[in-house]
Amino acid sequence: MPDSLYAQALRDVLQRLSSAAAASGRPRPRLLAVSKTQPATAVAEMAAALHAMNVTAVAPAPAFGENYVQEALAKQEALASETLEWHLIGHLQSNKAREAATAFDWVQTVDRDKLVAALARHRPDDRPPLNVLVQVNIDDEASKHGCAPGEVPALAAAIAAQPRLLLRGLMAIPAPHPDVAHRRDAFARMKALFDALAGQYPQIDTLSMGMSDDIELAVAEGATMVRVGTALFGARQRAQDS
């Protein structure tokens, strides 16, 4: 069988994950393939590559991250015959909560109470509880979404109180600071928040941080899930998706 289109890129990323995990003595994190701006055909190709490399042995299904609800819905429709796990990793407006609660398996960007209530209300009864991560604005950037670190406990409690939601952990997009030590520190502060929360909620298992450029740093500081787009699919075309 010929290599699929993305086999080599996937092998390279998996190698980076394994090396980083081995170097830091941590388990290899889960790989979320970030498919924003990529067509459904690319998602299908990547899913095939993930299956061929047996990446799904450590996960229920190939997992894909999308930033926009409408874009994800179109791809899900085109790929309805495949068993895939869909994660929302872009900012969620409250008026899209119903669609998000229906279409996704995970929402990684919960950062306010209003969203907790809306997602819980709209999660369909015939689906398992929606997996939820609290997004933390770890570098306190004015332009960024995510709650303040100090707001994590209250938001986590609100999520844990909802039977239709399952609190799985935390997510962050640290500022792209030129100084490595600065970036490492942001990941380390996320890990400390995560450990504090895990002490309180035993079902918590996911610390989502690290993208194409900083996989190694994130894994070294304790990421259990990395979100990788460019290193898997190549550079994105559209400007809005930086």
Ligand X SMILES: *Cc1c(COP(=O)(O)O)cnc(C)c1O
Give the nearer residue to ligand X in terms of CB position, either 116 or 171: 171
Shortest distance, position 179 Cβ to ligand X, whole Å? 18
Give the nearer residue to ligand X in terms of CB position, either 167 or 232: 232
Q: Where are the beta strands (DSSP E) in 25-110?
A: 30-34, 63-66, 85-88, 106-110
CA-CA distance, 114 to 112, in Å (whole number)?
A: 6
Residue number with the smallest Cβ distance to ligand X: 229
Shortest distance, position 209 Cβ to ligand X, whole Å? 9
What is the Rg, in whole angstroms, of the alpha carbon atoms belonging to the chain? 17
Angle at which helices 152-160 and 180-200 pack, to 10 degrees?
40
Name the residue among 104, 140, 138 with its Cα closest to residue 123. 104
Shortest distance, position 31 Cβ to ligand X, whole Å? 11
Give the nearer residue to ligand X in terms of CB position, either 91 or 98: 91
Residues that bind ligand X (CB under 6 A): 34, 36, 67, 89, 173, 211-213, 227-231
Shortest distance, position 241 Cβ to ligand X, whole Å? 6
Give the nearer residue to ligand X in terms of CB position, either 173 or 207: 173
Q: How is residue 61 annotated by DSSP?
A: S
Residue type at 218 in one-letter notation:
A
